Amino acid sequence: MFKKRFMDQRIGVLMGGLSSEREVSLKSGEAISAALSRLGYQQIPIDVDRDIALTLRREEIDVAFIALHGRYGEDGAIQGLLEVMQIPYTGSKITASAIAMDKIRSHDVFKAHQLPCPATHILEKKMAEDFQISQLPFGLPVVVKPISEGSSIGVSIVKSANEIDNALKLSFQFGSKCMIQNYISGMEVHVGILDKEALGAIEVKSKGEFYDYSAKYVPGMSMHIFPAPLPSLEYQKALDLGLKAHQALDCSAYSRVDLLIDSEMKAYILEVNTLPGMTETSLMPEIARECGIDFDTLVELILEKARTAYGETS
């Protein structure tokens, strides 16, 4: 039974934004707005720009449902603004959001908690000109990815030495550092976390080389299998690892944890998404639905966990 503590308040659905994931965010926001309307809430769709503080005041927003993805929305920036303005908001608080978005920092936290991650090398743009594959403590193939982008934007799989320059050039379009990781061949598994519980794990089989942008958001470009076809013990281990990763970063409300599981059934953490996609092809709603939680209920559960000013929940 929901308390429905925001039923009589103006809910700003923050979407769009300034990141490379703007189009996906608009789709997430539109789906959330529609769900809130069906549930009887007073929702105000807001396309976030640099005047967002003025918009929030003008629209007299009482609570923010954050449907942003990527920079300025998923990295603690909007969360900090909302806390200054003392507007309750959905999702994780400032620090957890910032660390989860920074792949270097989150990797360090996972390692500090003795959670398994792929072998990793960090490369700065100023050192890229002299970089050689032979400098890595692991061999090809490798995965090259930006530090603070989501939706697999800027990610490349490098199978030969002559591919590294283009991969680095692409990654450095999104920042001055990139992460190079040992490529792990295996099952791509995603764990949905809701209110301190691992709901379930889903396998994704991409038509492309990996679960890239098109596989995530273009219908028909990937196949989803729920529950992930793992032996019962390994399935539970995946759920436990996902929850541990969520907790290690001090995330709250909900998240989606991305794992790789190799042929020997060893799982590796890739990242934690503190504001996972809420589109028609998104994994978090699908996991919830397979666990008996329809989309509208999921949206309401997330709303009910909205954080009040200074990171408190009431």
pLDDT tens by residue, the chain, 314 residues: 566 889 999 999 999 998 888 999 999 999 999 999 999 999 999 999 999 999 999 999 999 999 999 889 999 999 999 999 999 999 999 999 999 999 999 999 999 999 999 999 999 998 888 888 888 989 899 999 988 765 467 888 999 988 998 999 999 998 889 999 999 999 999 999 998 999 999 999 976 555 544 555 455 667 999 999 999 999 999 999 999 999 999 999 999 999 999 999 999 999 999 999 998 779 999 999 999 999 999 999 999 999 664 445 43
For residue 314, the model assigns a pLDDT of 39
In a domain, 288, yes or no: yes
- Known catalytic residues? 21, 151, 217, 256, 258, 271, 273, 277
For residue 220, the model assigns a pLDDT of 63
For residue 187, the model assigns a pLDDT of 95
Cα 88 to Cα 83: distance, rounded to the nearest angstrom: 7
For residue 126, the model assigns a pLDDT of 87
Residue 89: DSSP 8-state = B
The count of structural domains within the chain is 3
In a domain, 301, yes or no: no
In a domain, 309, yes or no: no
Cα 64 to Cα 43: distance, rounded to the nearest angstrom: 10
* In a shared domain, residues 284 and 191: yes
* In a shared domain, residues 258 and 194: yes
Q: pTM above the 0.85 mark?
A: yes
* In a shared domain, residues 230 and 273: yes
CA dihedral over 279, 281, 285, 289, signed as positive or negative: positive
* In a shared domain, residues 171 and 217: no
For residue 20, the model assigns a pLDDT of 83
Cα 74 to Cα 91: distance, rounded to the nearest angstrom: 9
Q: In this structure, are residues 3 and 9 in contact, taking their beta carbons and an 8 Å threshold?
A: no
* In a shared domain, residues 130 and 37: no
**What CATH number is attached to the domain comprising 65?**
3.40.50.20
For residue 130, the model assigns a pLDDT of 81
For residue 248, the model assigns a pLDDT of 98
Cα 46 to Cα 37: distance, rounded to the nearest angstrom: 15
The packing angle between helices 94-101 and 77-84, to 10°, is 170
In a domain, 314, yes or no: no
Cα 126 to Cα 291: distance, rounded to the nearest angstrom: 47
* In a shared domain, residues 74 and 215: no
For residue 189, the model assigns a pLDDT of 97
* In a shared domain, residues 165 and 211: no
Q: How many CA atoms lie within 13 A of 37 on its CB side?
A: 9
Domain holding 77, by residue range, is 10-91
In a domain, 283, yes or no: yes
For residue 206, the model assigns a pLDDT of 77
For residue 311, the model assigns a pLDDT of 45
In a domain, 287, yes or no: yes
* In a shared domain, residues 274 and 129: no
